[in-house]
């Protein structure tokens, strides 16, 4: 996971940020009466890259929020979805690709004086701050879980040729290399450097049978 994702997800106690800025929502109008609801639809621009090393929502991308805020006895329950573009690098062929990620959110933001806030650790539940809730760490955690650690440009990506390193999809299924068993490599080089021509080389020994066959017929008759 990227450094931005790690830093945002380590603590669930929100730092003070301006209401209605980026992922921060002002919930004062919701009140604390259990059952009170409000719908929020918003398109925001990310200030930082959100995601993993090989795939992430890029900095400056637009993320669409479709949320429902509901007051409950211990805080504000946030449900809904967030959708944003993804840019990544294929883990097999190293080709760049684009995609989209949609995450589902269900998270409780505890009231400052609630039993939940008083009986849980900082990293166990998200907390409200000055009647605001900051959705950024929630989105960061959810995106990190939704994106694959080893993304692919296509589900059937064949990766790179193990011999020459070219992207297999770009050269077609007929791409191949002649692979010679290294045990026979020496013989192949010898055959290439010394092609046979069917005649003995100069000075080479000639079998006795061939010498006799080359003798004149008159000599063979005399021996008889």
Cα separation, 67 vs 221, whole angstroms: 116
pLDDT interval class at 157 (50, 70, 90): confident
Please indicate, yes or no, whether residues 31 and 64 belong to a single structural domain of this protein.
yes
pLDDT interval class at 215 (50, 70, 90): low
CB of 157 closer than 8 Å to CB of 93: yes
172 within domain boundaries = yes
Q: How much of the chain exceeds pLDDT 70, in percent?
A: 68
Please indicate, yes or no, whether residues 68 and 101 belong to a single structural domain of this protein.
yes
pLDDT of residue 48: 93
pLDDT of residue 185: 61
pLDDT of residue 11: 47
187 phi, psi to nearest 5 deg:
-65, -35
pLDDT at residue 150 tops 60: yes
pLDDT of residue 4: 47
pTM over 0.75: no
Residues 6+ apart with CB under 8 A from 69: 25, 27, 30, 37, 38, 39, 40, 76, 77, 78
Please indicate, yes or no, whether residues 76 and 177 belong to a single structural domain of this protein.
no
Rg (CA), the chain: 38
Please indicate, yes or no, whether residues 140 and 164 belong to a single structural domain of this protein.
no
19 within domain boundaries = yes
152 within domain boundaries = no
213 within domain boundaries = no
218 within domain boundaries = no
Cα separation, 3 vs 1, whole angstroms: 7
pLDDT of residue 39: 95
Cα separation, 182 vs 144, whole angstroms: 46
Higher-pLDDT residue of 5 and 208 is 208
Please indicate, yes or no, whether residues 181 and 133 belong to a single structural domain of this protein.
no
Average pLDDT over all residues of the chain: 79
pLDDT of residue 8: 44
Q: Residue 64, Cα to own-chain centre: how many angstroms?
A: 23
Of 146, 181, 216, the position where a domain reaches its end is: 146
96 within domain boundaries = yes
pLDDT at residue 210 tops 70: no
Cα separation, 78 vs 67, whole angstroms: 7
Please indicate, yes or no, whether residues 102 and 174 belong to a single structural domain of this protein.
no
Cα separation, 115 vs 199, whole angstroms: 102
34 within domain boundaries = yes
CB of 152 closer than 8 Å to CB of 134: no
195 within domain boundaries = no
Please indicate, yes or no, whether residues 46 and 134 belong to a single structural domain of this protein.
yes
Number of folded domains in the chain? 2
pLDDT at residue 57 tops 80: yes
pLDDT at residue 211 tops 50: yes
Higher-pLDDT residue of 215 and 39 is 39
pLDDT at residue 83 tops 80: yes
Please indicate, yes or no, whether residues 45 and 121 belong to a single structural domain of this protein.
yes
Please indicate, yes or no, whether residues 25 and 80 belong to a single structural domain of this protein.
yes
pLDDT in tens, 104-139: 999 999 998 888 877 877 778 888 888 899 999 999
Higher-pLDDT residue of 22 and 223 is 22
pLDDT in tens, 174-202: 777 776 666 666 665 665 565 555 555 55
Task: Measure Cα distances from 198 to 187, 195, 201 in Å.
Answer: 19, 10, 9
Domain residues for the domain of 168 are 160-190
């Amino acid at each position: 996971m990227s450094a931005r994702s790690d830093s945002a997800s380590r603590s669930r106690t929100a730092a003070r940020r301006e209401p209605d800025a980026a992922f921060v929502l002002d919930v004062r109008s919701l009140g604390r009466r259990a059952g009170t609801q409000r719908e929020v639809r918003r398109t925001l621009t990310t200030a930082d890259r959100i995601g993993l090393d090989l795939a992430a929502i890029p900095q400056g991308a637009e993320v669409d929020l479709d949320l429902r805020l509901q007051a409950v006895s211990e805080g504000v329950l946030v449900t809904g979805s967030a959708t944003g573009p993804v840019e990544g690098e294929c883990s097999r062929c190293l080709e760049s690709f684009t995609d989209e990620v949609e995450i589902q959110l269900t998270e409780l933001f505890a009231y400052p004086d609630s039993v939940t806030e008083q009986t849980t650790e900082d990293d166990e539940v998200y907390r409200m701050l000055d009647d605001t809730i900051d959705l950024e760490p929630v989105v960061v955690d959810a995106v990190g879980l939704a994106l694959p650690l080893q993304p692919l440009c296509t589900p059937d990506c064949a990766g790179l040729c193990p011999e020459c390193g070219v992207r297999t999809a770009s050269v077609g299924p007929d791409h191949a290399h002649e692979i010679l068993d290294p045990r026979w490599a020496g013989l192949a080089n010898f055959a290439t450097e010394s092609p046979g021509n069917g005649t003995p080389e100069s000075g080479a020994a000639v079998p006795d049978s061939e010498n006799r066959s080359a003798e004149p017929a008159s000599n063979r008759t005399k021996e008889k």
